[in-house]
Every structure is written in structure tokens, then in C-alpha cells.
Amino acid sequence: MTLDFEFRSRRSNVYSTRGMVATSQPLAAQTGLEVLRLGGNAADAAVAAAAMMAVVEPVSCGVGGDCFALFFEAATGRVTSLNGSGRAPMAASAAALRQAGYQRMPRFTGAAVTVPGAARAWHDLLVRHGSLPWAALLRPAIDTARQGFAVTEWIAQGWKLSEGKLRRDRGWPSPDLEPGNPQSSGLDMLIDGRAPRAGQVMQLPKLATTMQGLADQGPDFLYRGDFARTCAAHVQAYGGWLTESDLAAHAGSWDQPLTCQYRGVTLHECPPNGQGLAAILACNLAQGFDLAAATEADRVHWSLECMRLAFADAQRWVFDPAYVDPKAPHNAAPLEQLCSAPYAAARRTRIDRQNAAQNVRFGDPQAGSDTIYLTVVDAAGNACSLIQSNYMGVGTGLVVPGYGVCLQNRGAGFDLVPGSPNELAGGKRPYHTIIPALTTRDGKLHASFGVMGGTMQPQGHFQMLVNMLDLGMLPQQALDAPRWQLSGPEFGLGVEDKGGLVLVEEGFSPSLLAELARRGHRLQVVDGFQRIHMGGGQIITRDAATGVLCGGSDGRKDGCAAGL
């Protein structure tokens, strides 16, 4: 059967009172739900579901990638932010890459590999917020990897796109892919040299062994010992710098989330090096527009212009805050000012209510970015909003020999511009695209949600909030509504490229598209599997008065929301 990836079915919202899980693959949702049924909390269920996603969607995420999470603690009303992203190897050198002839970061060589942080993040989340044993939460993923699972439709198509990368084919579309041995370890992720088809059973015995090692020894199984030696040697064989010491030194971090007020709720986002700042800035700008009463053309136009300004700032101010040059402290990201209402008011004056901006630059507040997302809310009202990724479909395409672990290419988030705050440097975290989101109202959970997909993520967060809070949509309807995306060659953006290309999904009316084009927006309609560029989301909301949960899961992915 040929799959055309068109929407032909209607999804209802899911309601429950004793807990809910929403993921982009049904086995992961079931795994999280079973943990809740056994008395686990939101953190426990999120880790179990995340581990399962590392097995059933290894092209998008896994222990070779990174992870971020937001956790809402119902008893205190507190939201904490977990940064589980890895750092560049200490020997990493932008100068060396420039000398080798690179003008931008290579994406599929060993030089793009940063220390994977996902497994340590899972463990950190459990240590602070969990209640069940680590090993027990990994058991369903281990069993599934060993026994096999039927590959779902969207995942199968994404897997197919990565065949050449996993085989290290000479002539694969990217010129910075070094050809590998025909018996490359990437073949562990394929069946007879090709990706599994939808409905085909896939077994991942080497990944099962790796996950069992994690269950038995904890994160140190990855960061010390034979795995670390093998991983470092493999990366170095493909031009990277990763060492055993880099892996052993890795640690995640807990931070205070960035926040803003939007239509009566507080939006919480992870701070830089993640791009959640872009969603905060867009919401702050949109506060000055009555989107609920606006015509559709005005609402979409104003939203696009808010997002365009937000990204201009994010591209300037999102970088690892630990790596500010002490000789140039003015280069530190002024987050408090960036997130303030006065700064938003000043930036808002740049928005033309009738015409698309053609050249947008970042502001000066001192003067005035293949991913999976899942969410869990338990019966007590605790919530975990979690996102993890290898980036760009199986990341670099390098798979650790004997362990079945795809290594991320998050190093592609650095640049090679001398003196840039995001210039590649040893021990530094890159500009990171993956971001979870969470909203509260009067100290109680309002929603735990996210939209995966590169630089679509803050755009998705913003659009989901507009859909729910301005337009009154329930979670599933908010996810089903057609989306737009500012797009371009660099990180999917084009903020200085004649206003940038705007991707729009089928579903917007011809009259709306004509009006947007008249206002100066350059539009491109996407349909079928190309909708993958518009991200895939999950949303769970909680009624503070009744405790009733309402969830939705994106039809652009394979998953579901499930409740107790």
C-alpha cells in the first residue's frame, strides 16, 4: 500500500482524571500509562516513555542525543528546567575547521558530535522528582528492543530518508558526509541495508544490550568504560575530537525557566542555550495585538511579524551563557531586559500592521532551532514536559560499533564566525533547537505541551497558545489547525532574506493566502509528508477546579494521547 500522508480522519480530545500521557508513538504512550497505573508519577512515566521512544523512533532520538525537560511540582507550584544538552569536546576548534576550508559547521562528520546528554538527563529527572526504580523504568524499552516492534508510518518514512547516511554512501546528498566502510555500524539500524517499512518488525539487539547496561550500571555505563572508549574512537575516526574524558566530565544542569505572561497564563521555557527565548519574545510582542478580535489575515500577519522579530533576537542572544568572554561582558545575553514588557513595547513599534518586514535585525535591550516530544500529567497534577533529539534524522549517521547508538550532530548548531558568541569552542554548548513548554495559571498547572521540529518549535509553541487562549480551541483542535512557519536556509530561517519564505499548510483559505501575498509574504504551500516540516505536537491541559485532564496528539505523527 502506498502512503500519501494526507489527513483523512478526525481525532477527538482525550479526557481523564487519574493521569495522561501523550507521545508520538503509541507504544511509548502505553508504557508511560502503565507506569502511572503502577503508582509512578509524572517524572517516572516520562522517563519510561522517553526510553521507549529511544527504541521505537531511534532515527529521531536516543541515548546518543540530548534532552530538555520542564517539571511542574503540584505540591509547591514550582517549575524547574532541566538542561540535558551536551558540550563540544574540549579539543574542538573552530580555527581548525576554518583552516580545513569549512565556512560553516559540518553536519555529518565527527566534528559535529557533541557529548550526548539524554541518558544523564533521564537519571537527573528521576533523582530530583521520581519515585520508582531506574532499572524498572527502562525494562519495557529493553524488552521491546530485544523482541522487536512493528514500525509505524511516519517513523518508517523518516527512517527511509536516513538510509544513505547510515550506510555512509558516497554521493549522499550532503557533501560533508565522509564515506565509511561498507560494513559500517550504521547497518545495525537497517534491515539488509535498507530502512524498515511501515508494519515491518524491527529488532535492535545491540541497542537492547546498551539499554540493559544503562539499567544495571546507571548513566556511567555510557560515560565511562568500554562504551566511552568505543564511542570516542569512532568519532575520532570520522574527524571528530570526542574523548573519554569529555564523556566522563558531562553533567546536566537545573535552571530557572524563562517566563512571560500571555492572556492570563504564565509561559515557562528553558533558558539559553535553548531557543525557548524566541517563544517568550513572540508572546510578549503579541500581547499588544487583539488576536481574538482580528480578521484571520490580520491575525496571521501580525503573528508572523511577531515571530520574525523574536527570531532576530534569538539568533543573536541564544548561546551558552557560561561562555561569555570576560573581556567583553556586554556580550552576555540580557535575558531580564529581553523578556521585559518595555522591551517588547519598543520592538513592537517595528511591526507594520499591513506589510511584511523585508529586513529584520536583532534589538539592543541595553538601550531601551528530528526530535520527539512527550508530555505526562499524573493524578496529583504534577507534569513533565520532555523533549529529546538526535537532530537532522539519526544525527551524524554515526552509530557506535557494537552498541547500536546513533550519535547526534548538535555541533551543527555552532558557527565558525570568529568572535561570535556561538562560535565553536571546547566545553561549550551549542545553539539548541529542542524546547519543551509548560503554562501555569495562579500557581496551578494549565498545560504541558510542545511542538517538535527544529526552528518550528518556538513557532509551534506560539501558535498553540494563540489557538488555545485567543481562539478558544481545545488541545486536539489546536494541534489540528493548519500552521505556518518562517523558513530559510540557516536554521530554517530567513529573517534578513527579503522577509524570509513562509511555509503554509494546506487548510488555509485561498483568499487568506492571496491577502498575505499582497502584504509581502513569500509563501510556499506544503502537503503530504512535507507536513513533517510543520512539526508534531502533544498537549495536555488540566482544569484547576475539577482536575480533569484534556489531551491531544498531533495527526502529523504516529502517536496518541491516552488517559487513566
Residue 488: the pLDDT is 61
CA 185, CA 88: separation in Å to the nearest integer?
Answer: 23
Sheet of strand 258-262, all strands in order from the earlier edge strand to the far edge: 14-16, 549-553, 536-542, 444-452, 437-441, 265-269, 258-262
Residue-wise pLDDT tens digits, 440-490: 999 999 999 999 988 899 999 999 999 999 999 999 999 999 999 998 643
User: Which DSSP symbol is given to 558?
Assistant: S
Joined together, the cell numbers standing for residue 47 give 522517563
What are residue 448's DSSP bridge partners? Answer: 438, 540
Helices (H), 151-219: 153-161, 163-167, 205-217
Residue 498: the pLDDT is 43
Give first-to-last CA distance, the chain, whole Å: 34
The DSSP-derived string for 485-550 is: EEE-SBTTB-TTSTT-EEEEEBTB-HHHHHHHHHTT-EEEEE-GGGGGGG-EEEEEEE-TTT--EE
Specify whether the CB–CB gap between 475 and 104 falls below 8 A.
no
Residue 145: the pLDDT is 98
Cα–Cα distances in angstroms (integers) from residue 358 to residues 350, 490, 520, in the given order = 11, 17, 8
Specify whether the CB–CB gap between 35 and 132 falls below 8 A.
yes
Residues in the chain: 564
Specify whether the CB–CB gap between 539 and 449 falls below 8 A.
yes
Residue 366: the pLDDT is 40
Burial (0-12, 13-18, 19+ Cβ within 10 Å), 345? middle
Nearest CA-CA partner of 146 in 191, 63, 203, 213? 203
Joined together, the cell numbers standing for residue 532 give 513533517
CA 377, CA 370: separation in Å to the nearest integer?
Answer: 24
Residue 528: the pLDDT is 83
CA 66, CA 71: separation in Å to the nearest integer?
Answer: 17
Sign of CA dihedral 85, 338, 286, 487: negative
Specify whether the CB–CB gap between 373 and 448 falls below 8 A.
no
Residue 495: the pLDDT is 38
Nearest CA-CA partner of 118 in 66, 77, 165? 66
| C-beta neighbour count of 380 within 10 angstroms | 14
| Contact residues for 144 (Cβ-Cβ < 8 A; gap 6+) | 27, 52, 55, 56
Give the distance, in angstroms, between the CA of residue 261 and the centroid of all CA atoms in the same chain. 22
Residue 364: the pLDDT is 44
Residue 2: the pLDDT is 65
- Flag whether the pTM goes above 0.75: yes
Residue 184: the pLDDT is 67
Consecutive 10-residue runs of the chain (564 residues): their mean pLDDT? 74 97 98 98 98 97 97 98 98 97 93 98 98 98 98 94 89 65 77 96 98 98 97 95 98 96 98 95 97 97 95 88 61 84 93 85 46 96 97 92 96 93 94 95 97 92 98 97 79 43 92 96 88 90 97 94 96
